[in-house]
Amino acid sequence: MDMAETRHFRQLRGALVADAPLARYTSWRAGGRAQLLFLPADRDDLAVFLRQLPPAMPLTVLGLGSNTLVRDGGIAGAVVVTHSPGAALAVADGLIYADAAVASPKLARFAAIHGCAGAEFLAGVPGTVGGALAMNAGCYGGETWTYVVRVEVLTRAGVFEVRTPADYRIGYRSVHRADGAPPDGIFTAAWFRFPPGDAAAARARIRELLARRIAAQPLDQPNAGSVFRNPPGDHAARLIESCGLKGFAIGDAQVSAKHANFIVNPRRTARAADIEALIFHVQRVVRERTGVLLEPEVRIIGARAQEGE
Ligand SMILES: Cc1cc2nc3c(=O)[nH]c(=O)nc-3n(C[C@H](O)[C@H](O)[C@H](O)COP(=O)(O)OP(=O)(O)OC[C@H]3O[C@@H](n4cnc5c(N)ncnc54)[C@H](O)[C@@H]3O)c2cc1C
């Protein structure tokens, strides 16, 4: 990648960097580089970028990279990292509007302060609203799409569209187009309707849920939350622990000794290849010993490193 590709783009307000390391943009703090990294200033800036993106150039979207493993060989094409600390939150017509670039815990606190119930679960999901929409993030009985009234999507061609939940097939940690069309576009905003609640009660619930997480999850070590989806009627963590895999390591990647469905990178030195090998080692051992095939919840993207890299 040479600088020529960054010079192709005009009138961008955000940062555009060629050959940029991505580890700092993922919660695992591991993985390779982006051929071209764009940090849009806002939704309109992202639209300006997409309208100039050559159609043949692959496009990858990251929010806070809290559910994503980027392989060591990095990502070809453009990577857009949407998270923006200044992104907008507002109350409008009885709905809560959130830019997709907002961090989900911020949305949870905003909803609580504005007397809404139901958003508390998002306080402990350390991604963006866009990532929560893409994943249908959920926990403690709450799920993102339960509260979505409409979303704004920016297509690959750089055109904004407004869609409703009826346009999607929503499942457990899965969101597909209802008409079977391949996933397209980037979520840029959402309007939520949360039931009315009591601000003090919502804030107390947030504190309680965060305390439960601190007690149960290795939040002081880089991780990407639950690695595997829970199989129907069971818990991935229970199955992994029952196979004696807590603490098992490959290279510098380790199955957390605190929560068996977390893989941690305690020294920030793990290669993505170690993390990936550990994911599939755990999957294989659990399958052999229990008969259950655990399905990864984390998304693994990018190229494997070449020999000697
Ligand atoms: C400590 C910890 C605890 C967690 N707990 C939970 C939990 O309780 N429940 C839960 O569901 N998840 C949990 N997660 C996982 C993760 O936080 C969620 O999946 C989160 O919603 C991902 O958001 P993100 O912005 O980090 O997404 P990323 O990891 O950046 O991206 C995830 C996927 O979403 C896509 N995507 C991201 N932004 C957009 C966008 N704007 N438009 C279209 N696609 C987009 C990406 O292309 C990718 O495929 C946890 C993670 C950690 C580290």
Cβ contact 27:222 at 8 Å: yes
Question: Ligand 1 centroid to 209 CA: how many Å?
Answer: 18
Ligand 1: residue of 28, 125, 133 to mutate (most ligand atoms within 8 A of CB) is 125
Local confidence band at 308 (pLDDT 50, 70, 90 cut-offs): low
Q: What is the 3-state secondary structure (H, E, C) of 148-196?
A: EEEEEEECCCCCEEEECHHHEEEECCEEEECCCCCCCCEEEEEEECCCE
* Residues assigned a catalytic role: 173, 226, 297
Cα(168)–Cα(209) distance, rounded to whole angstroms?
29
Verify whether ligand 1 is closer than 6 Å to residue 302 (CB atom): no
Local confidence band at 182 (pLDDT 50, 70, 90 cut-offs): confident
Verify whether ligand 1 is closer than 6 Å to residue 40 (CB atom): no
The strand pair at 75-81 and 33-39 is best described as parallel
Any idea what the Cα angle at residue 127 is, between residues 153 and 56, rounded to 5°? 45
Amino acid at 64: L
Lowest-confidence region among 138-142, 222-226, 282-286: 138-142
pLDDT given at position 306: 84
Question: Ligand 1 centroid to 189 CA: how many Å?
Answer: 15
Amino acid at 22: L
Cβ contact 74:31 at 8 Å: yes
Q: Which tens digits make up the pLDDT trace of 240-267?
A: 999 999 999 999 999 999 999 999 999 9
Question: Between 199-216 and 104-113, two packed helices, what is the crossing angle to 10 degrees?
Answer: 150
- Calculate what percentage of the chain has a pLDDT beyond 90: 94
Cα(76)–Cα(309) distance, rounded to whole angstroms?
16
Question: Ligand 1 centroid to 228 CA: how many Å?
Answer: 13
Question: Where do the DSSP E strands lie in 40-122?
Answer: 59-62, 68-70, 75-81, 89-92, 95-99
Verify whether ligand 1 is closer than 6 Å to residue 256 (CB atom): no
- The helix or strand, by DSSP H or E, that contains position 135, with its residue range, turns out to be helix 129-135
Verify whether ligand 1 is closer than 6 Å to residue 265 (CB atom): no
Verify whether ligand 1 is closer than 6 Å to residue 137 (CB atom): yes
Cβ contact 122:142 at 8 Å: yes
Give nearest CA residue, ligand 1 atom 34. Answer: 131
Rg for the chain, CA atoms, rounded = 20
Verify whether ligand 1 is closer than 6 Å to residue 194 (CB atom): no
The strand pair at 59-62 and 75-81 is best described as parallel
Local confidence band at 1 (pLDDT 50, 70, 90 cut-offs): very low
Lowest-confidence region among 9-23, 64-78, 173-187: 173-187
SS3 content of the chain, % helix, strand, coil (to 5): 30, 25, 45
Q: Which tens digits make up the pLDDT trace of 40-50?
A: 999 999 999 99
Cα(2)–Cα(131) distance, rounded to whole angstroms?
30
* Cα dihedral 11→14→84→27 (10° resolution): 140
pLDDT given at position 117: 97
Q: Which tens digits make up the pLDDT trace of 201-212?
A: 999 999 999 999
Sign of CA dihedral 27, 33, 38, 41: positive
255 three-state secondary structure: strand
Burial class of residue 274, CB neighbours in 10 A (0-12, 13-18, 19+): buried
Give nearest CA residue, ligand 1 atom 27. Answer: 131
Q: What is the pTM of this model?
A: 0.97
Verify whether ligand 1 is closer than 6 Å to residue 78 (CB atom): no
Mean pLDDT, the chain, whole residue set: 96
Question: Ligand 1 centroid to 91 CA: how many Å?
Answer: 24
Cα(5)–Cα(16) distance, rounded to whole angstroms?
10
- The helix or strand, by DSSP H or E, that contains position 264, with its residue range, turns out to be strand 263-264
pLDDT at 197 > cutoff 60: yes
Q: Which tens digits make up the pLDDT trace of 21-31?
A: 999 999 999 99
Cα(229)–Cα(283) distance, rounded to whole angstroms?
11
pLDDT at 309 > cutoff 70: no
